[in-house]
Structure 1
Amino acid sequence: MEALNANEQREFQNIYERKQLKDFMTVYSRLIQNCFESCVNDFTSKTLASREQGCVMRCVDKHQKAAERVQLRFTEQNVALMQSGQIPGQ
């Protein structure tokens, strides 16, 4: 990154931010689709039934907790690698 001039660094940052947003939106869309397909099966009403609402809330909570666990494990592994010197330049 240091070899890039200021304009190249800004462009790189913009590309990186767009990619992060795209990745987030992909994960979010998959979560919504998964929970909808798992929980909503009655299309006779404009609103969700209470059991469907509960199912969606549990589904989202489950995915959120799983993502938090993955992030925690990733952080733990990264710290361990850095402490062992296996990540060069860190």
Structure 2
Amino acid sequence: MDSLTPTEQRELQNRMEKKQMKEFMNVRSHGWMLGPPIPSLQLLIDHHQMYSNLVQRCFDDCVNGFESKSLTSREESCVMRCVDKHMKGSQRLGDRFQEQNAAMAQSGGLPGR
């Protein structure tokens, strides 16, 4: 995917999201899902929501005008920093949760009890 231009990467990502949502909606509308979503489908939904929130946040923080149809170099670098910062923060949070879960499992219960 590194050989694609940023515009091509965004277009590919948009198409993949549309396909995933179309498949999800087909499953729901044909009644194939009886009851709550299966874990892998729920995980997909959660990831899509997280991605959408990230896109919205970085767009709101970095894109200041619509003078041209493409991002300025300043806007593009802002978006890259925003995404990088969010991803590193999410990774760090996940690492801390894993450490806490391991500590809890080792102690046999909840801390402080």
RMSD: 1.7
Q: Deviations over 1:3-45 (max 9, x none)?
A: xxxxxxxx99x71111000000000000000000100012011
Q: Which runs of 5+ in 2 are unaligned?
A: 1-33
Counterpart selection for 1:59 from 82, 85, 97? 82
Q: Which amino acid aligns with 1:16?
A: P
Counterpart selection for 2:63 from 16, 40, 44? 40
Residue correspondences, number: 76
How many Å separate the matches in 1 of 2:78 and 2:64? 11
How many Å separate the matches in 1 of 2:84 and 2:57? 13
Q: Which runs of 5+ in 1 are unaligned?
A: 1-10
Residues 17-36 of structure 1 correspond to what in structure 2 (within 5 A)? 17-36=40-59
Q: Which amino acid aligns with 1:59?
A: C
Counterpart selection for 2:105 from 79, 82, 88? 82
Q: Which amino acid aligns with 1:21?
A: L
Higher Cα Rg: structure 1 or 2? 1
Query: Quick check: 1:70 aligned with 2:58?
Result: no
How many Å separate the matches in 2 of 1:64 and 1:84? 30
SS of aligned partner of 1:53:
helix
